[in-house]
Structure 1
Amino acid sequence: MEAMMLKKRNEELERALQKSLEREEMMKRELLSGFHRLRVAEEAEEHLCSQLGEVEAEAVEQARNYRSRMEALMEQLSLAQTLLQSASLSIPSLSSSESL
């Protein structure tokens, strides 16, 4: 009788051990899967940071070009205003010499 109870208890413990081993194996797979997802996410982050750096460098270059173009246009405008002012000062003197 006691041998039967021990055998039954042993079978229960073996089933519990098997379930525990299966859970452990499943948790290992989930952990490895998590590590894989983490590695993929880290690689994606590095790639995005690299792309962001390239975009920032391009934006700085475009801003510098825009500023240079604006400065050139401002110089042209200033020169045009100076020429217009000198031309308008010269026009009355030409008009007065024509009437003489």
Structure 2
Amino acid sequence: MGPKQEEETTLSLRKRNEELERELRKSKEREEQMKQELQRAWERLKIAEEGEERLCSQLAELEAEAVIDARASHARILSLMEQPSQRPTFSS
């Protein structure tokens, strides 16, 4: 191999090396962006899970209140039904 061929080979290898280095930098940038996106998605998921827990807790409290109210209403209805003076009289 002559000096000119060696120089061309060296130049070709340098260009290829530069290309590979550029591709590596781009790949690392994409990887970093993906890590950041994943981190943001993880944070959104955490917030959503916390919100879900709060909603479930509030729903349980509301259900308990509804049961208490329903029982009180039922008791009141039974009490009113048992009072003879409160019963309407129908005359024919």
TM-score range, shorter chain: 0.7 to 0.9
Q: Residue 51 of structure 1 is aligned with which of 48, 58, 67? A: 58
Give the count of matched residue pairs. 81
Residues 12-23 of structure 1: pairs in structure 2 closer than 5 A: 12-23=19-30
Matched, 1:68 2:75: yes
Residues in 2 aligned to 1:20 and 1:13: alpha-carbon distance in whole angstroms: 10
Q: Which has the higher helix share?
A: 1
Residues 59-98 of structure 1: pairs in structure 2 closer than 5 A: 59-76=66-83, 79-80=84-85
Cα RMSD (Å): 1.5
**Identical-residue share of aligned pairs (%):** 57
- Structure 1 unmatched ranges of 5 or more: 85-100
Structure 1 residue 80, shift from structure 2 partner: 2.4
Q: Residue 39 of structure 1 is aligned with which of 40, 46, 49? A: 46
Tell me: CA distance 1:80–1:10, structure 2 relative to 1, closer, same or farther (3 Å): same
Highest RCO, 1 vs 2 (Cα 8 Å, sep ≥ 6): 2
Larger radius of gyration between Structure 1 and Structure 2: 1
Residues in 1 aligned to 2:86 and 2:26: alpha-carbon distance in whole angstroms: 90
With structure 2 as the length reference, what TM-score do the two structures score?
A: 0.83
Segments of 4+ moved more than 6 angstroms: none
- Structure 2 unmatched ranges of 5 or more: 1-7
With structure 1 as the length reference, what TM-score do the two structures score?
A: 0.77
